[in-house]
Structure 1
Amino acid sequence: MTAPTLVSPPQPASRARAGAWLTLASGLVGLGVSVWLLRLKFGADFLCDASGCTGGDDGPACAEALASPWSEVLGLPLAIWSIGHVVTTMALATAVLRGRGALAAVAARALLLLGGFSVAVSLLLGAYAYTQFAHMCPFCLALYATLALAFVGAWLMHGPAGPAEPGRRIHGAVRALTLWVGTTGGLALGYQLAARRASCPPPPPDPPPVAMAAAIEAPRTAVMLFVDPTCPLCRRELHFLQQSLPRLRAHGAELWVYMFPRAGCDERFLPAHEFVDAGGKLQTHGEARSNNACLGALAALCAERLAPGRGLEALSALFDLQDTEAPRFTTDKIEKTLGEVADVLGPGGKLRTCIDGEDAAAALAAQQRYLLSWVKTRGGRVSVPQAFVVPIVDDSLHLDEAMPATSAGKILKLIEAPGSN
Structure 2
Amino acid sequence: MKIPVEPLRGFRDILPPVSTELRTLMNIFVETASKHGYLEVIPPTLERFELFALKSGEEIKRSMFVFKDKAGREVALRPEATASIARIYLKHLRAKPKPLRLFYIVNCFRYEEPQKARYREFWQAGIELLGAEGLSADIETIDVLLDYYQRLGMIDSIILKLGNIALYRKAFNKYGVPEEEQDHILHLMDKKLYNEAAEYLAEKGYEELSQKLKNIWNNKDNLEKVLHIVEQDGQELVNEIKYLVRIADILRNTYPNLNIDIDIAFARGLAYYTGMIFEVKVPGFPVSIAGGGRYDNLIEIYGDEHVPGVGFAIGLDRTLIAMKEIGKTVPIKASDTASILIIGEELLGYAISVKKILIEKGIVTTISIAQKLSKMLSKLSESGVRYAIIIGKKERDENKVTIKDLSTREQVTVSLNELETADGISAIFKK
TM-score (norm 1): 0.27
Higher helix share: 1
Structure scoring higher RCO (CA < 8 A, sep ≥ 6) equals 1
Whose Rg is larger? 2
Higher strand share: 2
